[in-house]
Structure 1
Amino acid sequence: MTHTTFDDWSRLPGTDVEFWRNGLRLGTGTIDMADSGSTIAWIISDPLAERLLLEKTNGIELRISREQAIRRMDPERSDRNCQV
């Protein structure tokens, strides 16, 4: 599956993501919450539902699947009419 960097973190709650820094994948998880300025996000990345705080200022980038990127850019699109 192809993943792409997505900078508007405020649109990502509920989305499965990969989190990266300096070209290395640090992990995966689901965005629980993100601030409106897209600078911090809380991610659930383990089975115990413990959250991690991720910050752009620490060089973190979030990557999502191409399908999720399309849905997040145009929330009106449903799974049925989202063609990738």
Structure 2
Amino acid sequence: MRHDWAQLTGHVVEVWLKDDRIMSGVVEQAAADDSVLWLAADGAESRRLFDKSTGYQVWH
């Protein structure tokens, strides 16, 4: 699990919420304070925002 979301721009990650895998994709942008990140759109998946305070975890 990664806590330093701001360092993940351009990397492929998996986003989890509790025990559920939500999405995987390339980090398009992340806040400097590691609070949120955007995963780039991929195929039928649209661009999505994930907020750390909601409980999302990012694995790389």
In the alignment, structure 2 segments of 5+ residues that lack a partner are none
Q: Give 1 or 2: higher strand fraction.
A: 2
Q: Which ranges of 4 or more aligned residues in structure 1 deviate by more than 6 Å?
A: none
In structure 1, the residue corresponding to 2:6 is in which secondary structure? helix
Flag the structure with more relative contact order, 1 or 2, with Cα contacts below 8 A and sequence separation at least 6. 2
- Which structure has the larger Rg? 1
Could you state the TM-score of these two structures normalised by the residue count of structure 1? 0.66
Size of the aligned set, in residue pairs, is 60
Identity %: 27
Question: 1:54 corresponds to which residue?
Answer: 50
In the alignment, structure 1 segments of 5+ residues that lack a partner are 65-84
Q: Are the equivalent residues in 2 in contact too, given 1:28–1:45 (CA < 8 A)?
A: no
Could you state the TM-score of these two structures normalised by the residue count of structure 2? 0.90
In the TM superposition, what whole-angstrom CA distance separates every residue of 1:5-57 from its partner, at most 9, and x where no partner exists?
A: 01000000000000000121111111000000001001014225731000001
- In angstroms, what is the RMSD of aligned CA positions? 1.5
